[in-house]
A and B are shown apart, each in its own frame.
Chain A
Amino acid sequence: MLQFSIWKTSFILLICAWGLFSASPNVFYSAAERSNDAVAALETGLPETPELVEARDSYPRYLPTDVVNLGLDLRGGAHLLVEVAVEDIYIERLDGFWTEALRALRDERESVGSIRRQYDNPNELRIRIENADQMPLAIETVAALTSPVVSLSGAGARDFNVSSENNELVITLSDAEKLATDERTMEQSLEIVRRRIDEAGTREPTIQRQGATRILIQVPGIGSVEELLKLLGETAKLTFNQVIGAPTTDAQTNPGAGNFLLPSQDEEGVYYIVDQIPVVGGDELTDAQAAFDQNGQPSVNFRFNTTGARLFGQFTAEHIGEPFAIVLDGKVVSAPVIQSHIAGGSGQITGRFSVEETTRLSILLRAGALPAELRVMEQRTVGPELGADSIAAGKIASIVGFAAVAVFMVMSYGMFGVVANVALFMNVTLIFAMLSAIGATLTLPGIAGIVLTIGMAVDANVLIFERVREELRAGRNPYRAFEEGYSKAFSAIIDGNVTTLIAAVILYMLGSGPIRGFSITLGLGIVTSVFTAVWLTRLIIGTWLNRRQPKTITL
């Protein structure tokens, strides 16, 4: 049986119709893209300017509007792979802990004697005490400074390991804390990077974490990576300011001389009047972490360096009961009330926080400075000129390739070649429809994949037609010959395509960047080519044979 049941027939036609429908916006690429951009802009709450409305309506919105994403190599843009130097933080943390430990041990000086840090290994903190027999007391004192690790995996673990060797205290970061620290470092770096790039207002940047310690940044449309590098190098401004008066909802409030009127970050329409001169700046902050207060409520612990600590201690002593504002990039992140004099340079921000909020707030608090150095491992920039050239070249190559194959097929198989060409056209249409639907990115190697698919997709039809020729020569009637041709060629088609599909899947899984783009179109092309070259042509030829009932055919 060559013909399909009515259900199968409708299903095949439905898929083809869907393909044509979904791929259609790509034909009017610039109009559809302009319209999509306008819709996205309006969704972010921009006012409905005539230009935006005009752009939105430049493409009919009742039709499908998803177009394929063009990769950086076609659109132009910058690609950066940066590695975050997470190990830098370990040393910082130990240095920070040394200040705390020193203070605590000083209180016990009568028992432990003189205290001195031994600097021989930057990865551990060694503190020599005079009276080795008081070691248990020293360990107890220092261990009291450690706190439990706030993470899922490291439940029950503490952040520092405290042990002793002769008359030396040995303090190292615990593995659980290292992991937690790495996570924090990465989260913060991603957050900062994201905020930096969003700030610049570029179009659809991609900022992804890659592996344990890397960040992939892709920004379409910028012609030089130097701009991007500068953008990432800039530090956000974080300050601690005194709050003057009550918060207001009137954006026109006159804050008065020497004061600023700043909006709140989280509460919409709330403004704070703060002292223009910050009490402490963000550069005085050494750390901020999500933690829990003594009641078990989520809180944020922060710590200043010595200067910051002194200034902050002084300020808090004088302003108990009053709020102060934590200001980031001109917005008030939070305005907690000072509960007590905060000496020693570390404090705790409590409030009605959830754990997510404290985590975020601690990230924001540290977002002022990149937590660790970013090392650029890979930079790739494609200028918009080359991108446009590549699109043009890809288009021409595809059209010429398609035309050459199509002419060749018609010359070889006549009318059946035309059927194969319909299938081939449908194949390319379906590739674009699927690329648009799944939001995949089309790259130059991706176009190469499509051109290659054009060449290879007719293979299934060639296999079938050659088989039909053999069957015709063996004296079968046309209908029977096609029946045999389709069924006997099928196993070779499946085996051949599965092996290529294996290669495509492995390329996708193990490949990076350009290779992935290629494997997506190649893989999609294999799936769609089996559909169009086997089922679609069979539907067309089967229907034709059934209608005409030819006694003989030439193939």
Chain B
Amino acid sequence: MRLKLVKDETHIKFFKHNKWTFGASLIAVIASLVIFFTNGLNYGIDFRGGTMMRIESPVNSGVGAIRETLAPLGLGDISVTEVFDPSAALTGEVRYEYMLRVEQQGDDETAQNEAVAQVKAALDAEFEGIIYLQTEAVSGKVSGELVFNSLIAVVVAVIAILFYIWLRFEWQFALGAVAALVHDVVLTIGIFSMVGLEFNLSIIAALLTIVGYSLNDTVVVFDRVREHLRRYKTKDLTELFDEAINETLSRTIMTALTTLLALIALYVLGGDVVRGFTFAMIWGVLVGTYSSVFVASEIVLRLGVKRDWSRPDPNAGTQFAETDA
């Protein structure tokens, strides 16, 4: 018996309720933007500057006690949270891990390092056997550059991808694919803003991977559409897209599932350091799978495609490998 998640032949009409699906995507994008502009993001020290410390205590020191210990130092806004570890439920090992965040200390870089020393001294005096698992202090100057570089990275990646799709398909496909990417990125930023998860450098990496994954998904559908466009010169475009998506549906679900399996393993067992990253990826795989059908394809449908593939068009896409690999 083979496990078949999707029947051999499906005839789902994906674009039957396109007003609803496309509308839902639009609303989700707008809602994400609204949340982002009102709530903002919980920027990590990579982007905001400041100090982050991850400490482990042999006993349950309590968030409140740590906060009280550090308050008299006068280092401004200090946040203390206990690290949540879902794998503890599996291993039964209880650990008292805390995350401390101290806001950026003025413009003077040395103040940052002094703050680190002060915090350590205060904690060592109050509690016994504190282990400093991780300490990070980033000055405002560097974090400004990191923000800028990350923005550039995302923008350059999207432009490069737009160019590649345009080269391989046609401009409508490129626009559709990029619209789906923007949709995925905006929705991911939206959920981070809504939930208040820390947004740091590794989330930027996650965003770009989501871009890559979502695009991979979109390209598979587009590739099939391209094939059908050559075969059926007159078939209704919506029907053609429906068929292409139905044919690739089994693969879409399979790949999303295998990726999700690996990601969930990482989310649960990979430790707290990569948890934000994995959360973003899981969300991105779900949104990216949705968007390749309901955003990317939808937009190509709305823009229309040049149907006559028999005549060579100098602007049309090229296909590398139709024959033997």
Contact = CB atoms under 8 A, between A and B. Distances in A.
A pairs with B: yes
B160 A502 contact: yes
A466 B246 CA distance: 12
B277 A448 contact: yes
Given A397-B270, A462-B254, A503 B161 contact: yes
Contact of B139 (A378, A380, A409, A510): A378
A518 interface: yes
B200 to A, nearest CB: 9
Given A452-B209, A486-B325, A458 B219 contact: no
A379 B142 contact: no
B269 A400 contact: yes
B266 A448 contact: yes
Instruction: State which size class the interface on B falls in.
Output: 35 or more
B157 interface: yes
Contacts of A522: 209, 212
A258 B281 CA distance: 71
B54 to A, nearest CB: 7
Interface string A361-402: 000000000000001111111110110011001101110111
Given A73-B273, A376-B110, A382-B134, A510 B213 contact: no
B136 A381 contact: yes
B94 interface: no
Contact of A394 (B9, B56, B259, B271): B271
Interface stretch (A326-334, A351-359, A491-499): A491-499
A512 B227 CA distance: 40
The secondary structure that dominates the A interface is helix
Contacts of A398: 265
Contacts of A396: 269
Interface in B141-156: 141-142, 146, 149-150, 152-153, 156
Contacts of A462: 251, 254-255, 258
Contact of A500 (B216, B258, B278, B324): B216
Contacts of A510: 149-150, 152-153, 156
A189 to B, nearest CB: 16
A143 B48 CA distance: 49
The listed residue with most A CB atoms (<10 A of its CB), out of B202, B217, B271, is B271
Contacts of B5: 412
The listed residue with most B CB atoms (<10 A of its CB), out of A224, A396, A458, A499, is A499
B305 interface: no
B113 A451 contact: no
Interface stretch (B24-32, B73-81, B296-304, B314-322): B314-322
Interface of A: 1, 73, 81, 83, 223-226, 229, 375-383, 385-386, 389-390, 393-394, 396-398, 400-402, 404-405, 408-409, 411-414, 444-445, 447-448, 451-452, 454-456, 458-459, 462-463, 466, 469-470, 473, 486-488, 490-492, 494-500, 502-504, 506-507, 510-515, 518-519, 522, 534, 538, 554-555
22 contacts: A225-B113, A225-B116, A376-B137, A377-B141, A378-B142, A400-B265, A401-B262, A401-B263, A404-B261, A444-B273, A447-B270, A451-B265, A452-B263, A455-B258, A455-B263, A487-B321, A488-B227, A492-B220, A495-B168, A502-B160, A507-B157, A515-B204
List the 3 closest pairs (A to B, CB-CB), nearest first.
A455-B262, A500-B212, A455-B259
Interface of B: 2-5, 8-9, 54, 56, 87, 109-110, 112-113, 116-117, 131-139, 141-142, 146, 149-150, 152-153, 156-157, 160-161, 164-165, 168, 201-202, 204-205, 208-209, 211-213, 215-217, 219-220, 222-224, 227, 247-248, 250-251, 254-255, 257-263, 265-266, 268-271, 273-274, 277-278, 281, 319-325
